[in-house]
Amino acid sequence: MKQHRLAAAVALVSLVLAGCDSQTSVELKTPAQKASYGIGLNMGKSLAQEGMDDLDSKAVAQGIEDAVGKKEQKLKDEELVEAFAALQKRAEERMAKMSEESAAAGKKFLEENGKKAGVTTTASGLQYEVIKKADGPQPKPTDVVTVHYTGKLTNGTVFDSSVERGSPIDLPVSGVIPGWVEGLQLMHVGEKYKLYIPSDLAYGAQSPSPAIPANSVLVFDLELLAIKDPAKEDAAAK
């Protein structure tokens, strides 16, 4: 988390805090009012995820009031830099701890899951179950396939689902996370698999979304619907 990112977030939240207090209800009728609430809500969630759950709302409001009123600031720039650095360090330590805990929990999950009947573990560490068998062709690394999927964390929380959106997706076999690249090539068209993907075959420590903690094991219900025919695709495009 960079200093300017934290400062910008605090500034945006302070605009909301300066305009109301805990004893005052605000109207949320006009587009501007709704957007203002959305800014506060989104930035509040972001700050909470960064571990910024102890902001002093009065100090925030005082800071914005001094800036808008062009008053002399109560802290020197050096003090502010030091304060932001302390918060950045705290956030980094928090994220490192969460990452370590997630990695340990993922390892334990896979160890236990691999003992279950019907679960196969490959040489890479990928685990899978065949939920529905079929005799269709298997995709190659160069193929584009059509799939339906639901992605979950090991606690069952859904973070993405083409099934919920009601629309399957087309994707290149070699253009997805390593766990999918391997898993798709094991499948036959018409089959349904459950993939248990170790973090090093998914996103590792670089989470693509707040919904997916760093070093998470990912669980996918995956259905291979079709392998796209390049010749037919080219003909249809003409």
**Which residues form the catalytic set?**
149, 159-160, 177, 203, 220
d(CA 9, CA 88): 13
